[in-house]
Chains A and B, each alone.
Chain A
Amino acid sequence: MENLVEPFVELVRRAATDLPADVESALRAAKEREEPGTAAAGALEAILRNVELARERSTPICQDTGLPIFYVYHPRGMGTRALREQIERAVVEATRRAYLRPNAVDPLTGRNSGNNLGRSFPSFHFEEWEEEFLRVDLLLKGGGSENVSAQYKLPYAPLKAGRDLEGVRRVVLDAVYRAQGKGCAPGILGVAVGADRGGGYVCAKEQLFRPLNDTNPVPELATLEQRLLEEANELSIGPMGFGGKTTVLGVKIGAYHRLPACYFVTVAYMCWACRRARMEVRDGEVVYG
Protein backbone atom coordinates (compact mmCIF):
# COMPACT_ATOMS: atom_id res chain seq x y z
CA MET A 1 0.00 0.00 0.00
CA GLU A 2 1.24 3.50 -0.81
CA ASN A 3 2.26 5.85 1.99
CA LEU A 4 -0.76 8.00 2.91
CA VAL A 5 0.46 9.31 6.28
CA GLU A 6 0.85 12.92 5.12
CA PRO A 7 -2.56 12.98 3.34
CA PHE A 8 -4.12 11.60 6.54
CA VAL A 9 -2.44 14.38 8.57
CA GLU A 10 -4.04 16.83 6.15
CA LEU A 11 -7.43 15.16 6.68
CA VAL A 12 -7.05 15.68 10.44
CA ARG A 13 -5.94 19.28 9.95
CA ARG A 14 -8.97 20.03 7.80
CA ALA A 15 -11.36 18.41 10.26
CA ALA A 16 -9.90 20.25 13.26
CA THR A 17 -9.50 23.70 11.74
CA ASP A 18 -11.96 24.11 8.84
CA LEU A 19 -15.67 23.91 9.65
CA PRO A 20 -17.78 22.43 6.78
CA ALA A 21 -19.54 25.07 4.66
CA ASP A 22 -23.07 23.75 5.35
CA VAL A 23 -22.55 24.03 9.11
CA GLU A 24 -21.10 27.51 8.84
CA SER A 25 -23.98 28.77 6.73
CA ALA A 26 -26.49 27.26 9.17
CA LEU A 27 -24.73 29.20 11.96
CA ARG A 28 -24.92 32.40 9.90
CA ALA A 29 -28.63 31.90 9.35
CA ALA A 30 -29.02 31.30 13.10
CA LYS A 31 -27.23 34.55 13.87
CA GLU A 32 -29.60 36.46 11.58
CA ARG A 33 -32.58 35.08 13.51
CA GLU A 34 -31.39 36.24 16.93
CA GLU A 35 -32.18 39.69 18.32
CA PRO A 36 -29.05 41.88 17.96
CA GLY A 37 -27.43 42.69 21.28
CA THR A 38 -28.63 39.55 23.08
CA ALA A 39 -26.26 37.03 24.64
CA ALA A 40 -27.42 34.51 22.01
CA ALA A 41 -26.49 36.82 19.13
CA GLY A 42 -23.18 37.62 20.83
CA ALA A 43 -22.36 33.93 21.18
CA LEU A 44 -23.08 33.25 17.50
CA GLU A 45 -20.99 36.24 16.44
CA ALA A 46 -18.08 34.94 18.52
CA ILE A 47 -18.55 31.46 17.05
CA LEU A 48 -18.45 32.79 13.48
CA ARG A 49 -15.40 34.96 14.14
CA ASN A 50 -13.71 31.96 15.70
CA VAL A 51 -14.49 29.76 12.70
CA GLU A 52 -12.87 32.30 10.37
CA LEU A 53 -9.85 32.71 12.63
CA ALA A 54 -9.30 28.96 12.97
CA ARG A 55 -9.46 28.50 9.19
CA GLU A 56 -7.10 31.40 8.55
CA ARG A 57 -4.50 30.25 11.06
CA SER A 58 -4.94 26.48 10.83
CA THR A 59 -5.58 26.31 14.58
CA PRO A 60 -8.25 24.10 16.17
CA ILE A 61 -11.80 25.48 16.06
CA CYS A 62 -12.31 23.99 19.53
CA GLN A 63 -9.61 22.99 21.98
CA ASP A 64 -11.48 19.76 22.67
CA THR A 65 -10.51 18.02 19.46
CA GLY A 66 -12.28 15.03 20.92
CA LEU A 67 -12.12 11.41 19.96
CA PRO A 68 -11.07 11.04 16.31
CA ILE A 69 -13.63 8.66 14.80
CA PHE A 70 -12.64 7.16 11.45
CA TYR A 71 -15.14 5.48 9.15
CA VAL A 72 -13.02 3.75 6.51
CA TYR A 73 -14.57 2.36 3.34
CA HIS A 74 -11.98 0.38 1.43
CA PRO A 75 -11.99 -1.56 -1.84
CA ARG A 76 -11.56 -5.30 -1.98
CA GLY A 77 -8.06 -6.50 -1.24
CA MET A 78 -6.89 -3.47 0.72
CA GLY A 79 -5.53 -4.51 4.11
CA THR A 80 -7.03 -2.73 7.09
CA ARG A 81 -3.96 -3.29 9.26
CA ALA A 82 -1.73 -1.08 7.12
CA LEU A 83 -4.49 1.54 6.90
CA ARG A 84 -4.90 1.63 10.65
CA GLU A 85 -1.16 1.86 11.21
CA GLN A 86 -0.81 4.80 8.79
CA ILE A 87 -3.79 6.64 10.25
CA GLU A 88 -2.37 6.17 13.76
CA ARG A 89 0.98 7.62 12.64
CA ALA A 90 -0.90 10.57 11.14
CA VAL A 91 -2.79 11.12 14.41
CA VAL A 92 0.48 11.21 16.36
CA GLU A 93 1.94 13.71 13.89
CA ALA A 94 -1.22 15.86 13.92
CA THR A 95 -0.99 15.97 17.72
CA ARG A 96 2.65 17.03 17.51
CA ARG A 97 1.64 19.87 15.16
CA ALA A 98 -1.06 21.01 17.66
CA TYR A 99 -3.99 20.25 15.34
CA LEU A 100 -5.13 17.84 18.03
CA ARG A 101 -4.99 18.05 21.80
CA PRO A 102 -3.65 14.91 23.47
CA ASN A 103 -6.90 13.36 24.68
CA ALA A 104 -6.33 9.67 25.43
CA VAL A 105 -6.52 9.13 29.20
CA ASP A 106 -5.99 5.73 30.85
CA PRO A 107 -8.89 5.30 33.31
CA LEU A 108 -6.80 3.11 35.63
CA THR A 109 -3.76 5.34 36.05
CA GLY A 110 -5.24 8.70 35.04
CA ARG A 111 -2.29 9.16 32.67
CA ASN A 112 -2.70 10.91 29.34
CA SER A 113 -0.81 8.96 26.64
CA GLY A 114 0.26 12.29 25.17
CA ASN A 115 -0.13 11.29 21.51
CA ASN A 116 -3.82 10.39 21.12
CA LEU A 117 -3.12 6.68 20.89
CA GLY A 118 -4.58 4.24 23.37
CA ARG A 119 -6.80 1.22 23.69
CA SER A 120 -9.79 1.84 21.40
CA PHE A 121 -8.35 5.32 20.71
CA PRO A 122 -8.75 6.62 18.03
CA SER A 123 -11.94 4.86 17.02
CA PHE A 124 -12.08 2.89 13.74
CA HIS A 125 -14.91 1.44 11.68
CA PHE A 126 -13.77 -0.48 8.62
CA GLU A 127 -16.06 -1.55 5.83
CA GLU A 128 -15.11 -3.24 2.60
CA TRP A 129 -17.27 -1.84 -0.17
CA GLU A 130 -17.92 -2.43 -3.87
CA GLU A 131 -16.20 0.75 -5.06
CA GLU A 132 -12.68 0.76 -6.45
CA PHE A 133 -11.53 3.72 -4.37
CA LEU A 134 -10.75 4.39 -0.71
CA ARG A 135 -12.89 6.76 1.36
CA VAL A 136 -11.97 7.89 4.86
CA ASP A 137 -14.50 9.93 6.82
CA LEU A 138 -13.34 11.58 10.02
CA LEU A 139 -15.43 13.05 12.81
CA LEU A 140 -13.83 14.84 15.76
CA LYS A 141 -16.33 14.58 18.57
CA GLY A 142 -15.66 16.40 21.81
CA GLY A 143 -16.35 15.18 25.32
CA GLY A 144 -18.94 17.82 26.22
CA SER A 145 -21.27 16.72 23.46
CA GLU A 146 -20.53 13.05 24.11
CA ASN A 147 -21.56 13.48 27.75
CA VAL A 148 -25.04 14.70 26.76
CA SER A 149 -25.64 12.01 24.14
CA ALA A 150 -28.32 9.58 25.29
CA GLN A 151 -29.85 6.19 24.64
CA TYR A 152 -33.50 5.41 25.40
CA LYS A 153 -35.29 2.09 25.55
CA LEU A 154 -38.89 2.17 24.35
CA PRO A 155 -41.44 2.05 25.82
CA TYR A 156 -40.29 4.88 28.08
CA ALA A 157 -42.96 5.44 30.69
CA PRO A 158 -41.97 8.91 32.05
CA LEU A 159 -42.80 10.44 28.64
CA LYS A 160 -45.47 7.92 27.67
CA ALA A 161 -43.26 7.11 24.71
CA GLY A 162 -44.30 3.94 22.92
CA ARG A 163 -42.61 1.82 20.27
CA ASP A 164 -43.38 4.02 17.28
CA LEU A 165 -42.19 7.24 15.68
CA GLU A 166 -44.27 9.30 18.12
CA GLY A 167 -42.30 7.62 20.92
CA VAL A 168 -39.07 8.41 19.07
CA ARG A 169 -40.14 12.07 18.79
CA ARG A 170 -40.75 12.31 22.52
CA VAL A 171 -37.44 10.88 23.68
CA VAL A 172 -35.41 12.92 21.17
CA LEU A 173 -37.01 16.12 22.51
CA ASP A 174 -36.25 14.92 26.03
CA ALA A 175 -32.58 14.43 25.08
CA VAL A 176 -32.40 18.01 23.76
CA TYR A 177 -34.05 19.33 26.91
CA ARG A 178 -31.65 17.39 29.15
CA ALA A 179 -28.62 18.55 27.18
CA GLN A 180 -29.56 22.24 27.70
CA GLY A 181 -26.52 24.24 26.55
CA LYS A 182 -24.01 21.74 27.91
CA GLY A 183 -23.25 20.04 24.61
CA CYS A 184 -22.40 23.42 23.04
CA ALA A 185 -25.73 24.32 21.49
CA PRO A 186 -26.84 24.88 18.80
CA GLY A 187 -26.22 21.18 18.29
CA ILE A 188 -26.76 18.64 15.54
CA LEU A 189 -28.56 15.40 16.34
CA GLY A 190 -27.60 12.06 14.82
CA VAL A 191 -30.35 9.62 15.73
CA ALA A 192 -30.45 5.84 15.34
CA VAL A 193 -33.80 4.11 15.70
CA GLY A 194 -33.31 0.41 16.34
CA ALA A 195 -30.02 -1.54 16.30
CA ASP A 196 -28.45 -2.87 19.50
CA ARG A 197 -26.92 -0.63 22.18
CA GLY A 198 -23.42 -0.54 20.69
CA GLY A 199 -24.60 -0.36 17.10
CA GLY A 200 -27.00 2.43 18.02
CA TYR A 201 -24.18 4.83 18.75
CA VAL A 202 -22.13 3.75 15.73
CA CYS A 203 -25.11 4.34 13.42
CA ALA A 204 -26.20 7.56 15.14
CA LYS A 205 -22.73 9.03 14.66
CA GLU A 206 -22.69 7.92 11.03
CA GLN A 207 -25.81 10.08 10.53
CA LEU A 208 -23.72 13.11 11.53
CA PHE A 209 -21.84 12.83 8.23
CA ARG A 210 -24.98 13.80 6.28
CA PRO A 211 -24.99 17.38 4.98
CA LEU A 212 -27.37 19.57 6.98
CA ASN A 213 -29.40 20.50 3.89
CA ASP A 214 -30.03 16.98 2.54
CA THR A 215 -33.41 15.26 2.65
CA ASN A 216 -33.91 11.85 4.16
CA PRO A 217 -34.85 9.37 1.38
CA VAL A 218 -37.36 7.71 3.72
CA PRO A 219 -40.43 10.01 3.66
CA GLU A 220 -41.66 9.36 7.21
CA LEU A 221 -38.14 9.99 8.57
CA ALA A 222 -37.82 13.17 6.49
CA THR A 223 -41.08 14.42 8.03
CA LEU A 224 -39.93 13.52 11.53
CA GLU A 225 -36.56 15.23 11.03
CA GLN A 226 -38.28 18.46 9.98
CA ARG A 227 -40.78 18.35 12.82
CA LEU A 228 -38.10 17.63 15.42
CA LEU A 229 -35.94 20.48 14.13
CA GLU A 230 -38.82 22.91 14.61
CA GLU A 231 -39.92 21.54 17.97
CA ALA A 232 -36.39 21.35 19.40
CA ASN A 233 -36.02 25.04 18.55
CA GLU A 234 -39.32 25.80 20.29
CA LEU A 235 -37.59 24.73 23.52
CA SER A 236 -35.70 28.06 23.17
CA ILE A 237 -32.62 26.80 24.98
CA GLY A 238 -30.62 28.80 22.45
CA PRO A 239 -26.93 29.12 21.67
CA MET A 240 -24.83 28.08 24.70
CA GLY A 241 -28.06 27.66 26.66
CA PHE A 242 -28.42 31.46 26.95
CA GLY A 243 -31.99 31.25 25.64
CA GLY A 244 -32.69 32.03 22.00
CA LYS A 245 -34.25 30.96 18.76
CA THR A 246 -31.79 28.29 17.60
CA THR A 247 -31.18 25.27 19.82
CA VAL A 248 -30.55 22.69 17.09
CA LEU A 249 -29.10 23.15 13.57
CA GLY A 250 -30.14 19.79 12.16
CA VAL A 251 -31.70 16.41 12.92
CA LYS A 252 -30.59 13.32 11.00
CA ILE A 253 -32.33 10.01 11.62
CA GLY A 254 -31.63 6.49 10.42
CA ALA A 255 -33.72 3.36 11.04
CA TYR A 256 -31.98 0.04 11.62
CA HIS A 257 -33.31 -3.44 12.23
CA ARG A 258 -33.78 -4.27 15.88
CA LEU A 259 -34.36 -7.37 17.96
CA PRO A 260 -38.00 -8.16 18.70
CA ALA A 261 -37.42 -7.44 22.39
CA CYS A 262 -35.42 -4.22 21.93
CA TYR A 263 -36.38 -0.78 20.69
CA PHE A 264 -33.49 1.62 21.27
CA VAL A 265 -33.42 5.25 20.28
CA THR A 266 -29.87 6.58 20.33
CA VAL A 267 -29.22 10.31 20.16
CA ALA A 268 -25.64 11.29 19.31
CA TYR A 269 -25.50 14.98 20.20
CA MET A 270 -22.91 16.88 18.19
CA CYS A 271 -21.83 20.37 19.18
CA TRP A 272 -22.11 23.27 16.71
CA ALA A 273 -18.45 22.57 15.85
CA CYS A 274 -19.40 19.57 13.75
CA ARG A 275 -15.90 18.77 12.61
CA ARG A 276 -16.25 16.25 9.83
CA ALA A 277 -13.96 15.81 6.86
CA ARG A 278 -13.74 13.37 3.97
CA MET A 279 -10.83 12.11 1.95
CA GLU A 280 -10.89 9.83 -1.07
CA VAL A 281 -8.04 8.19 -2.93
CA ARG A 282 -8.87 7.47 -6.57
CA ASP A 283 -6.16 6.08 -8.85
CA GLY A 284 -3.48 7.33 -6.50
CA GLU A 285 -4.96 10.83 -6.40
CA VAL A 286 -6.04 12.28 -3.04
CA VAL A 287 -9.24 14.36 -3.02
CA TYR A 288 -10.76 16.13 0.00
CA GLY A 289 -14.29 17.34 0.61
Chain B
Amino acid sequence: MATYELETPIPEEAVRALHVGDTVYLSGLIVTGRDAAHKYMVENFIRAGVVPASEQALYEELKRLLNGGVIYHCGPVVRQREDGQWEFVAAGPTTSIREEPYEADVIAHFGLRGVIGKGGMGPQTLRACQEYGAVYFHAVGGAASLIADAVKEVVAVYKKEEFGIPEAFWVIRVEGFPVVVTMDTHGRSIHEQVERSSRDVLNRLVSSSTI
Protein backbone atom coordinates (compact mmCIF):
# COMPACT_ATOMS: atom_id res chain seq x y z
CA MET B 1 0.00 0.00 0.00
CA ALA B 2 1.94 2.96 -1.33
CA THR B 3 1.22 6.68 -1.24
CA TYR B 4 1.28 8.84 -4.39
CA GLU B 5 0.72 12.43 -5.38
CA LEU B 6 -0.87 12.87 -8.80
CA GLU B 7 -1.85 15.88 -10.83
CA THR B 8 -4.47 16.08 -13.58
CA PRO B 9 -4.22 15.42 -16.48
CA ILE B 10 -2.85 12.07 -15.31
CA PRO B 11 -0.70 10.00 -17.72
CA GLU B 12 -1.96 6.48 -18.40
CA GLU B 13 1.19 4.79 -17.05
CA ALA B 14 0.81 6.59 -13.69
CA VAL B 15 -2.69 5.17 -13.32
CA ARG B 16 -1.62 1.68 -14.38
CA ALA B 17 1.04 1.75 -11.63
CA LEU B 18 -1.65 2.09 -8.92
CA HIS B 19 -3.01 -0.83 -6.88
CA VAL B 20 -6.01 -1.22 -4.61
CA GLY B 21 -5.21 0.03 -1.12
CA ASP B 22 -2.88 2.80 -2.35
CA THR B 23 -3.43 6.28 -0.95
CA VAL B 24 -3.37 9.12 -3.47
CA TYR B 25 -3.33 12.89 -3.00
CA LEU B 26 -4.86 14.48 -6.10
CA SER B 27 -4.21 17.97 -7.38
CA GLY B 28 -5.27 19.97 -10.42
CA LEU B 29 -8.59 20.51 -12.18
CA ILE B 30 -11.39 17.99 -11.65
CA VAL B 31 -15.07 18.10 -12.59
CA THR B 32 -18.04 17.13 -10.42
CA GLY B 33 -20.80 15.17 -12.10
CA ARG B 34 -23.46 12.89 -10.68
CA ASP B 35 -26.84 11.50 -11.69
CA ALA B 36 -28.18 14.22 -14.00
CA ALA B 37 -24.71 14.88 -15.45
CA HIS B 38 -24.07 11.23 -16.36
CA LYS B 39 -27.48 10.78 -17.94
CA TYR B 40 -26.96 14.02 -19.86
CA MET B 41 -23.46 13.10 -21.12
CA VAL B 42 -24.50 9.67 -22.29
CA GLU B 43 -27.70 10.85 -23.97
CA ASN B 44 -26.25 13.96 -25.67
CA PHE B 45 -22.64 13.08 -26.40
CA ILE B 46 -22.23 9.34 -26.48
CA ARG B 47 -25.42 7.66 -27.67
CA ALA B 48 -26.69 10.52 -29.84
CA GLY B 49 -25.50 10.35 -33.43
CA VAL B 50 -24.87 14.09 -33.51
CA VAL B 51 -24.23 16.39 -30.56
CA PRO B 52 -27.04 18.99 -30.44
CA ALA B 53 -25.80 22.42 -31.55
CA SER B 54 -26.89 23.99 -28.24
CA GLU B 55 -24.65 21.56 -26.31
CA GLN B 56 -21.61 21.78 -28.57
CA ALA B 57 -19.71 24.37 -26.51
CA LEU B 58 -20.05 22.41 -23.27
CA TYR B 59 -19.08 19.22 -25.10
CA GLU B 60 -15.81 20.77 -26.26
CA GLU B 61 -15.09 22.08 -22.77
CA LEU B 62 -15.75 18.68 -21.15
CA LYS B 63 -13.61 16.88 -23.74
CA ARG B 64 -10.75 19.18 -22.83
CA LEU B 65 -11.22 18.78 -19.06
CA LEU B 66 -11.93 15.07 -18.93
CA ASN B 67 -9.20 13.82 -21.26
CA GLY B 68 -6.74 12.40 -18.75
CA GLY B 69 -9.01 13.93 -16.16
CA VAL B 70 -11.04 12.93 -13.14
CA ILE B 71 -14.76 13.09 -12.54
CA TYR B 72 -16.01 13.46 -8.97
CA HIS B 73 -19.38 12.08 -7.86
CA CYS B 74 -20.30 14.96 -5.60
CA GLY B 75 -23.17 17.35 -4.95
CA PRO B 76 -21.59 20.14 -2.94
CA VAL B 77 -22.90 22.75 -0.52
CA VAL B 78 -21.75 26.04 -2.05
CA ARG B 79 -21.69 29.69 -1.07
CA GLN B 80 -21.47 32.70 -3.38
CA ARG B 81 -19.27 35.55 -2.26
CA GLU B 82 -20.35 39.15 -2.77
CA ASP B 83 -18.04 39.46 -5.78
CA GLY B 84 -19.92 36.57 -7.40
CA GLN B 85 -17.18 33.98 -6.85
CA TRP B 86 -18.43 30.55 -5.72
CA GLU B 87 -16.91 28.62 -2.81
CA PHE B 88 -17.27 24.99 -1.77
CA VAL B 89 -18.45 24.76 1.85
CA ALA B 90 -18.99 21.00 2.07
CA ALA B 91 -18.09 18.55 -0.65
CA GLY B 92 -17.95 14.85 0.23
CA PRO B 93 -18.61 12.07 -2.28
CA THR B 94 -22.02 10.67 -3.20
CA THR B 95 -22.78 6.97 -3.77
CA SER B 96 -21.29 5.95 -7.11
CA ILE B 97 -23.16 2.78 -7.97
CA ARG B 98 -26.05 4.78 -9.47
CA GLU B 99 -23.71 5.76 -12.32
CA GLU B 100 -22.83 2.15 -13.11
CA PRO B 101 -25.02 2.08 -16.26
CA TYR B 102 -23.14 5.11 -17.64
CA GLU B 103 -19.59 5.23 -16.28
CA ALA B 104 -17.89 2.72 -18.58
CA ASP B 105 -19.09 4.70 -21.62
CA VAL B 106 -17.95 7.98 -20.07
CA ILE B 107 -14.50 6.55 -19.30
CA ALA B 108 -14.12 5.23 -22.85
CA HIS B 109 -15.51 8.31 -24.60
CA PHE B 110 -13.65 11.03 -22.74
CA GLY B 111 -10.47 9.19 -21.79
CA LEU B 112 -11.00 9.58 -18.05
CA ARG B 113 -8.14 8.41 -15.80
CA GLY B 114 -10.10 8.42 -12.57
CA VAL B 115 -13.51 8.45 -10.96
CA ILE B 116 -13.88 9.70 -7.38
CA GLY B 117 -16.86 8.61 -5.33
CA LYS B 118 -17.91 6.34 -2.53
CA GLY B 119 -19.25 2.82 -2.18
CA GLY B 120 -17.47 1.52 -5.28
CA MET B 121 -18.81 0.49 -8.69
CA GLY B 122 -19.67 -2.69 -10.54
CA PRO B 123 -18.16 -5.07 -13.09
CA GLN B 124 -18.77 -2.89 -16.17
CA THR B 125 -16.80 -0.01 -14.69
CA LEU B 126 -14.08 -2.36 -13.45
CA ARG B 127 -13.70 -3.74 -16.98
CA ALA B 128 -13.53 -0.22 -18.44
CA CYS B 129 -10.84 0.65 -15.86
CA GLN B 130 -8.76 -2.28 -17.10
CA GLU B 131 -9.34 -1.67 -20.77
CA TYR B 132 -8.92 2.11 -20.96
CA GLY B 133 -6.59 2.72 -18.02
CA ALA B 134 -8.59 4.30 -15.21
CA VAL B 135 -9.04 3.73 -11.49
CA TYR B 136 -11.75 4.26 -8.93
CA PHE B 137 -10.70 6.60 -6.13
CA HIS B 138 -12.67 6.22 -2.90
CA ALA B 139 -13.09 9.43 -0.90
CA VAL B 140 -14.29 9.32 2.71
CA GLY B 141 -18.06 9.53 2.68
CA GLY B 142 -19.38 12.30 4.89
CA ALA B 143 -16.00 13.99 5.33
CA ALA B 144 -17.41 17.01 3.58
CA SER B 145 -15.83 19.92 5.44
CA LEU B 146 -12.43 18.24 5.32
CA ILE B 147 -12.63 17.65 1.57
CA ALA B 148 -13.93 21.18 0.94
CA ASP B 149 -10.61 22.29 2.44
CA ALA B 150 -8.80 20.63 -0.46
CA VAL B 151 -10.90 22.61 -2.97
CA LYS B 152 -8.87 25.72 -3.60
CA GLU B 153 -10.93 27.35 -6.33
CA VAL B 154 -14.20 27.03 -8.20
CA VAL B 155 -13.17 27.66 -11.80
CA ALA B 156 -16.53 27.34 -13.56
CA VAL B 157 -20.00 25.85 -13.26
CA TYR B 158 -22.18 24.44 -16.04
CA LYS B 159 -25.87 23.45 -16.05
CA LYS B 160 -26.48 24.96 -12.61
CA GLU B 161 -29.94 26.27 -13.47
CA GLU B 162 -31.04 23.17 -15.35
CA PHE B 163 -29.71 20.51 -12.96
CA GLY B 164 -29.67 22.45 -9.67
CA ILE B 165 -26.68 23.11 -7.40
CA PRO B 166 -26.00 19.50 -6.28
CA GLU B 167 -26.18 18.09 -9.82
CA ALA B 168 -24.34 20.73 -11.83
CA PHE B 169 -20.90 20.30 -13.41
CA TRP B 170 -18.55 22.21 -11.06
CA VAL B 171 -15.03 22.65 -12.39
CA ILE B 172 -12.76 22.88 -9.35
CA ARG B 173 -9.06 23.13 -8.65
CA VAL B 174 -8.02 20.82 -5.82
CA GLU B 175 -4.82 20.39 -3.87
CA GLY B 176 -3.95 17.26 -1.94
CA PHE B 177 -7.42 15.72 -2.20
CA PRO B 178 -7.05 12.46 -0.17
CA VAL B 179 -8.43 9.26 -1.74
CA VAL B 180 -7.85 5.50 -1.60
CA VAL B 181 -7.69 3.35 -4.74
CA THR B 182 -10.39 0.68 -4.35
CA MET B 183 -10.65 -0.46 -8.00
CA ASP B 184 -7.52 -0.65 -10.13
CA THR B 185 -6.47 -1.33 -13.73
CA HIS B 186 -5.47 -4.91 -12.80
CA GLY B 187 -9.05 -6.05 -12.36
CA ARG B 188 -9.03 -5.88 -8.58
CA SER B 189 -11.81 -4.35 -6.49
CA ILE B 190 -11.85 -4.04 -2.70
CA HIS B 191 -15.64 -3.81 -2.95
CA GLU B 192 -15.87 -7.18 -4.66
CA GLN B 193 -13.55 -8.76 -2.07
CA VAL B 194 -15.45 -7.35 0.93
CA GLU B 195 -18.79 -8.29 -0.61
CA ARG B 196 -17.64 -11.88 -1.02
CA SER B 197 -16.10 -12.28 2.45
CA SER B 198 -19.09 -10.65 4.20
CA ARG B 199 -21.45 -12.96 2.32
CA ASP B 200 -19.59 -15.97 3.71
CA VAL B 201 -19.97 -14.63 7.26
CA LEU B 202 -23.65 -13.87 6.72
CA ASN B 203 -24.25 -17.40 5.47
CA ARG B 204 -22.59 -18.79 8.57
CA LEU B 205 -24.61 -16.52 10.89
CA VAL B 206 -27.94 -17.54 9.40
CA SER B 207 -27.11 -21.15 8.58
CA SER B 208 -29.02 -23.00 11.29
CA SER B 209 -32.34 -23.83 9.72
CA THR B 210 -35.57 -22.55 11.19
CA ILE B 211 -39.09 -21.79 9.86
Say yes or no: is B205 at the interface (Cβ < 8 Å to chain A). yes
Distance of A175 from chain B, by nearest CB (Å): 11
Q: Chain A 97-108 against B: per-residue CB contact (8 Å), 1 yes, 0 no?
A: 010111101000
Q: What is the CB-to-nearest-CB distance from A258 to chain B, in angstroms, rounded to a whole number?
A: 18
Q: Which of B52-60, B75-83, B103-111, B127-135 contacts A (4 or more CB under 8 A)?
A: B75-83
Per-residue A-contact encoding for B103-141, CB less than 8 Å = 1, 0 else: 000000000000000111000000000000000001011
What residues of A have a CB within 8 angstroms of the CB of B144 in the complex? 50, 54, 59-64
Distance (Å) between the CB of A230 and the closest chain B CB? 10
Q: Is A200 an interface residue (CB 8 A)?
A: no
Please, how many residues of chain B have a CB less than 8 angstroms from a CB on the other chain?
54
Consensus secondary structure, chain B interface: mixed
- B148: nearest residue on chain A (CB-CB)? A59
* A144 nearest CB neighbor, chain B only: B95
Residues on A with C-beta less than 8 A from B163 are 110, 112
The answer on a CB contact under 8 Å between A166 and B210 is yes
A238 CB–B CB distance under 8 Å? yes
Q: Is the CB–CB distance between A63 and B91 below 8 Å?
A: yes
CB atoms of B118 and A240 under 8 A apart: yes
- Please choose the segment from A2-10, A79-87, A179-187 that sits at the chain B interface, where 4 or more of its residues have CB less than 8 A away: A179-187
Given A147-B95, A177-B198, the answer on whether A101 and B77 have CB atoms closer than 8 Å is yes
- Return the contact of A180 from the options B119, B166, B201 (Cβ within 8 A): B119
B101 at interface (Cβ–Cβ under 8 A)? no
CB distance A271 to B194 under 8 Å?
A: no
CB 8 Å contact bits of A157-185 with B (1 = contact, 0 = none): 10111100011001001100100111010
Q: Give A43 to B138 CA distance when docked, in angstroms.
A: 10
Residue in contact with B210 in the complex, picked from A49, A61, A160, CB distance below 8 Å: A160
- Tell me if A65 is interfacial: C-beta within 8 Å of chain B: yes
- Contacts A180-B119, A180-B198, A231-B205 given; indicate if A50 touches B210 (C-beta within 8 A): no
Tell me if B145 is interfacial: C-beta within 8 Å of chain A: yes
Q: Which one of A63, A111, A112 lies within 8 Å of B92 (CB-CB)?
A: A63
B residues in contact with A54, CB < 8 Å: 90, 144-145
**0 or 1 for each of B178-204: is its CB under 8 Å from A? (1 = yes):** 101010000000110111011101100
Q: Which of B74, B118, B182, B193 makes the CB contact (< 8 A) with A184?
A: B118
Given contacts A59-B89, A180-B195, A241-B191, contact A42 B202 (CB under 8 A): no
B15 within 8 A of A: no
Whole-angstrom distance between the Cβ of A109 and the nearest chain B Cβ: 11
Contacts of A46 in B (CB 8 A): 140, 143, 146, 178
Report how far A133 CA is from B120 CA in the complex, Å: 46
Q: A162 contacts which chain B residues (CB < 8 A)?
A: 210-211
Given the known interface contacts A103-B166, A161-B211, A242-B182, the answer about A49 and B198 at a Cβ–Cβ threshold of 8 Å is no
Is residue B21 contacting chain A, with contact meaning CB distance below 8 A? yes
- 22 pairs, A vs B, C-beta closer than 8 Å: A39-B180, A46-B140, A62-B90, A63-B75, A63-B77, A63-B91, A64-B94, A98-B79, A105-B164, A112-B163, A114-B165, A144-B95, A157-B211, A177-B199, A177-B202, A180-B119, A236-B197, A237-B194, A241-B120, A242-B180, A242-B182, A242-B190
Give the interface of B toward A (CB within 8 A): 1, 21, 23, 36, 74-79, 89-92, 94-95, 97, 118-120, 138, 140-149, 163-167, 178, 180, 182, 190-191, 193-195, 197-199, 201-202, 205-206, 209-211
20 new A-B pairs (CB below 8 Å) besides A39-B1, A47-B143, A181-B120? Answer: A39-B190, A53-B145, A62-B142, A102-B166, A144-B94, A166-B210, A170-B206, A173-B205, A177-B202, A180-B198, A181-B194, A182-B97, A184-B141, A235-B201, A241-B191, A242-B180, A242-B190, A243-B193, A271-B141, A273-B142
Task: Report the 9 A-B pairs with minimum CB-CB distance, sorted nearest first.
Answer: A112-B164, A50-B146, A182-B119, A63-B90, A60-B90, A50-B143, A184-B141, A63-B144, A54-B145
